[in-house]
Structure 1
Amino acid sequence: MTDKPVNEMSFEEAMAELERVVGQLDRGDVPLEASIKLYERGAELKARCEVKLKEAEEKVAKITLDRDGNPTGATPVEGL
């Protein structure tokens, strides 16, 4: 587990750590208290990944196309 705060992680960092957390929990060789902390960390990581995916979806949705369907730029996303 990294010491980097979840809210500062990129999607890739959060996903990689989430995979490690899930792997540890799946093995079942972690004491109960540590499992609870891992589960909580996993929930934070999952939420971070969802936020980053939503941001990406909004950016993609704002890409403008010309009449031939080619990208011409992006419309600013409000609130980002």
Structure 2
Amino acid sequence: MTKKNFEQALAKLEQIVAELEQGNLALDMGLKKFNEGIQLVSFCDKKLDEARNQVDLLLKKEDGGLTTVPFVTIQTDGEICVQPERAE
């Protein structure tokens, strides 16, 4: 499958998941769809990482000015939170 963009890959992945959840596929076809889904997950994950690397959070400094900082995403209890990356 040619993956033109994230949205198309995600739509195809959702279609594959629906087909697999129905449980009507023969074993060989199910495995083929599963492998295609894994490739799509990898593609989408790569695109999301690329996007994360391009995005900064804009934060207000104490003097009222603005500064940008890298961000991290944290997933807890099924919710995704975006917060500034902490300097170590």
Instruction: Count the aligned residue pairs.
Output: 65
% identical aligned pairs: 31
Q: Which has the bigger relative contact order, CA under 8 A and spacing at least 6?
A: 1
Output the TM-score relative to the length of structure 2: 0.63
2:29 to 30, 34, 46: 34
Instruction: In structure 1, list runs of 5 or more residues that go unmatched.
Output: 72-80
Instruction: In structure 2, list runs of 5 or more residues that go unmatched.
Output: 69-88
What's the CA shift string for 1:1-60, capped at 9, x where partnerless? xxx42xx33111111000000000000001110000000000000000000000000000
Alignment-derived partner of residue 59 in structure 1: 54
Alignment-derived partner of residue 44 in structure 2: 49
The alignment yields a C-alpha RMSD, in angstroms, of 2.3
Q: Secondary structure at the match of 1:9?
A: coil
Q: How many Å separate the matches in 2 of 1:49 and 1:14?
A: 7
Off by >2 Å, runs of 4+ in structure 1: 67-71
Q: How many Å separate the matches in 1 of 2:17 and 2:66?
A: 41
